[in-house]
Structure 1
Amino acid sequence: MVYVLNIQGNPLMPCKEAKARRLLKNSLAKIIKRTPFTIQLLFECENKTQDITLGIDAGSKTIGVSASTEKQELYSAEVVLRDDIVDLISTKRQNRRTRRNRLRYRKPRFNNRIKFKKDRWLAPSILQKIETHLNVVKKIHKILPISKIIVETASFDIQKIKNPNITGVEYQQGEQLEFWNVREYVLHRDGHTCQHCKGKSKDKILNVHHIESRKTGGDSPSNLITLCETCHKKYHNGEIKLKVKRGQSFRDSAFMGIMRWAFYEKLKETYQNVKMTFGYITKNTRISNNLPKEHCIDAYCIAGNLKAKLMNSYFYQIKKRCQNRQIHKANFLKGGRKKLNQAPYIVKGFRLFDKVSYQGNPYYIFGRRSSGTFDVRDLSGNKVNKGSINCKYLKLLETRKYYLTEKRERAIPPNY
């Protein structure tokens, strides 16, 4: 399937590959984009379009998207969101504070930038994911004349997840009720006993240890464990290893609760005819029609055109960062010189995440060296071969984009 734009750049209905091939051969169209393959007509034509419904399965890790008419699915994709925002911002804050303390003294300022947090302020990690949702919808509108949008956003009762039998007043009586702080609760939960040696060290001093680093894991009780000071020091000196794993994390559930209305309201501000649906309706539709559990299939059910013929393939996309700021890196050589720890921006005409052709197949550059050899992989992370590939065997298909896209085949149920 080929997506078509008119001479003004507005989207038309897609056409078949054979027709697009004839248009390009007769110089009646030009190529705009390779993935998804999009052409623009070089002559005036009638703008005849059909009603296209866009279904969006919003998520904290993956977005499912499907656009369809009553008879045919026209676009299907899964977009993997970034999950490195918290780590990068925490590292930036750490390096900034270190630099300020090293170079000069500044009085503490606790109230700076507080005005931005008063009017619908969102954390950067949540804001970035909401903007990615909006960008995905915007990109589809550029290649298809969408007439209707249906969004599924989920809300989670976190206390119900922890305790399925919770009711009434119990919602006001959390697990930390009558405890002064998180530390006191964790010590009481663990019976004031070291969870590694079980008291064998006979060290009476107890510490609360973060299972994951505080930078990315936070101060949630599920990420804390009681250790005696002896075991705590041994762990940080690398003498022992802990066999415990952090408890259940509700980060994704909290994100969906926050972004639910923010994403929906911003969609309504930008586009017309936007509606909302719910997860239990999508689940019932998918099971009733014997469809597999996939994000793009959920989006197909959300769109509501269940008689539409499914596409044989879908687009698998991964969102990558737009910049690579040097402040995030903390590698120093002897003498205090900062180590760049990276190859030049362009090596032999190639950049990081460029789409290249190797032995007739499309891949992406995941690593580069100044010598001109590259680490080439597909979007699943599989290397083309065990070693690096010389640049003379690679052909550039597309320069790097912020969304890495790969076309994948999928098994279609017999009735579709």
Structure 2
Amino acid sequence: MRVFILNKRGKPLMPCSPAKARLLLKEKKAIVVRRTPFTIQLTIATGESKQPVSLGVDAGYKHVGLSASTEKAELYASEVELRQDVSDLLSARRALRQSRRSRNTRYRAPRFDNRIRTKRKGWLAPTVENRINVHLSRIETVLRLLPVTKITVETASFDTQLLKNPDIAGKEYQEGEQLGFWNVREYVLFRNRHVCQHCYGRSKDPVLNVHHLESRRTGGDSPGNLITLCETCHKALHRGEIKLKAKRGRSFRAETFMGIMRWGVLNRLKASHPKLEVHNTYGYRTKHARIANGIAKSHCADAFCIAGNFGAKRLGEFFFQKQTRRNNRQIHKLSILKGGIRKRNQAPFEVKGFRLFDKVACQGEEGFIPNSREIARDYF
């Protein structure tokens, strides 16, 4: 991997080889400002020679691929794994607040009438906003390391109705599967012919319930996640006495996210960097370019194809980054000890000079402080 260089003012220059970086550090002409990726900053003023650098961004729901290259060589390659726990954490917080309102403690009235953020134009769900911000922050990281002149982002538009029904056409787009039904529950009962999908009426229980195959927190209330069960089978299922053979239908969460995100990232990039060329491309073009050039499928490879410099010599490695939760804002544990004392959930921010996810060297190996302050306290 090349060594990234910043000038005396902190602006990015073209990267150099490790040998040249060692020479600059030995002669005290540069200092180390970052270890991963290895970056140095010059302490003397020098002439700046730059080349056109193209950055390709393979946007995604679970992973982001980045590749920056010139006509001759690939300069940067990375793959980012996005968080998948934002929805669960929001649901847990909502459940905690609802239960707190029903307990015999101080009353906390609902504040939904006071929340105007959802009424503002351009508001996005927290899960979508988080992923968009990660895309933008990773792009900003590359812009701080390399003199990028062009950014190309792969956007995608999915027709979810066509994915469900390949023969759909015309006015059928306006006549969805729930047309004529009052709510989702009524549609699910009609779809299953008002028959329990486990015992098929053998229990003789006339009461029917609608059951979530996946929890409502993760699977939602879409018809593909709902099934009809009689009350007898429903209670037996929750007691763990029976198991269902039915599987959840296909989820279109990733496709929906990409449809929302595709213009969000592009427009925000254009607004924040008006002097850069910011373009978009599509997945079918990336696939054709990858196959035509005989490149194996990966997120970094797609980003390399998106950048458009097919004659550049590719790097044999890439940076892997995993997005993690920064802080846990829960102040107290849920369980109450004797005497009505609630144990604090928060640990000190710094333990013997180390913080969460610090990169450390231990017994000849490099690693990170784990996601537990108690473990960090035991080790250090």
TM-score, structure 1 as length reference: 0.85
User: Which deviations, in whole Å up to 9, do the C-alpha atoms of 1:116-154 show, x marking residues without a partner?
Assistant: 423111111111111111111111111100011111111
User: 1:367 Cα shift?
Assistant: 4.6
User: 1:82 Cα shift?
Assistant: 1.1
Q: Contact 2:154/2:281 (CA < 8 Å) preserved in 1? A: yes
Bigger relative contact order (CA 8 A; separation at least 6) = 2
User: 1:98 Cα shift?
Assistant: 2.3
Q: Contact 1:88/1:328 (CA < 8 Å) preserved in 2? A: no
Distance 1:220 1:145 in 2: 46
Partner of 2:166: 164
Distance 1:138 1:45 in 2: 24
Question: Unmatched 5+ residue regions in structure 2?
Answer: none
Give yes or no for the alignment of 1:315 onto 2:316: no
Mark the CA change 1:328 to 1:200 in structure 2 (over 3 Å): closer, same or farther.
Answer: farther
Question: Unmatched 5+ residue regions in structure 1?
Answer: 375-389, 392-416
Distance 1:371 1:92 in 2: 25
Distance 2:236 2:189 in 1: 20
Distance 1:30 1:269 in 2: 33
User: Which deviations, in whole Å up to 9, do the C-alpha atoms of 1:347-383 show, x marking residues without a partner?
Assistant: 4443332222244332223254647676xxxxxxxxx
Mark the CA change 1:335 to 1:198 in structure 2 (over 3 Å): closer, same or farther.
Answer: farther
Q: What amino acid is aligned across from residue 192 of structure 1 in structure 2?
A: H
User: 1:296 Cα shift?
Assistant: 0.8
User: 1:319 Cα shift?
Assistant: 1.0
Q: Any idea what SS the aligned residue of 1:366 has?
A: coil
Mark the CA change 1:124 to 1:368 in structure 2 (over 3 Å): closer, same or farther.
Answer: closer
User: 1:294 Cα shift?
Assistant: 0.5
Q: Which moved more, 1:193-202 or 1:145-154?
A: 193-202
Mark the CA change 1:346 to 1:164 in structure 2 (over 3 Å): closer, same or farther.
Answer: same
Give yes or no for the alignment of 1:36 onto 2:40: no
User: Which deviations, in whole Å up to 9, do the C-alpha atoms of 1:56-82 show, x marking residues without a partner?
Assistant: 111111111000000000000111111
Q: Which moved more, 1:307-316 or 1:242-251?
A: 242-251
Q: Contact 2:332/2:342 (CA < 8 Å) preserved in 1? A: no
Q: Any idea what SS the aligned residue of 2:33 has?
A: strand
Q: Contact 1:343/1:368 (CA < 8 Å) preserved in 2? A: no
Give yes or no for the alignment of 1:239 onto 2:246: no
Distance 1:42 1:373 in 2: 39
Q: Which moved more, 1:315-324 or 1:292-301?
A: 315-324
User: 1:115 Cα shift?
Assistant: 5.5
Q: How does 1:188-337 map to 2 (within 5 A)?
A: 188-271=190-273, 272-326=276-330, 330-333=334-337, 337=341
Q: Contact 1:149/1:275 (CA < 8 Å) preserved in 2? A: yes
Q: What amino acid is aligned across from residue 80 of structure 1 in structure 2?
A: E
Distance 1:336 1:239 in 2: 37
Q: Contact 2:210/2:229 (CA < 8 Å) preserved in 1? A: yes
Q: Contact 1:156/1:257 (CA < 8 Å) preserved in 2? A: yes
Distance 1:337 1:7 in 2: 55
Distance 1:361 1:368 in 2: 20
Q: Contact 2:214/2:248 (CA < 8 Å) preserved in 1? A: yes
TM-score, structure 2 as length reference: 0.92
Distance 2:297 2:93 in 1: 38
Give yes or no for the alignment of 1:131 onto 2:133: yes
Q: Give aligned pairs, total.
A: 376
Partner of 2:24: 23
User: Which deviations, in whole Å up to 9, do the C-alpha atoms of 1:73-105 show, x marking residues without a partner?
Assistant: 000011111111111111112212322343344
Q: What amino acid is aligned across from residue 300 of structure 1 in structure 2?
A: F
User: 1:328 Cα shift?
Assistant: 9.3
Q: Which moved more, 1:144-153 or 1:337-346?
A: 337-346
Partner of 2:366: 362
Q: Contact 2:158/2:255 (CA < 8 Å) preserved in 1? A: yes
Q: Which moved more, 1:237-246 or 1:279-288?
A: 237-246
Mark the CA change 1:337 to 1:263 in structure 2 (over 3 Å): closer, same or farther.
Answer: same
State percent identity of aligned pairs. Answer: 57
Partner of 2:46: 45
Q: How does 1:66-85 map to 2 (within 5 A)?
A: 66-85=67-86
Q: How does 1:47-126 map to 2 (within 5 A)?
A: 47-102=48-103, 103-105=105-107, 110-114=112-116, 116-126=118-128
Q: Any idea what SS the aligned residue of 1:65 has?
A: strand
Partner of 2:354: 350
Q: What amino acid is aligned across from residue 174 of structure 1 in structure 2?
A: G
Q: Contact 2:195/2:229 (CA < 8 Å) preserved in 1? A: yes
Distance 1:371 1:251 in 2: 35
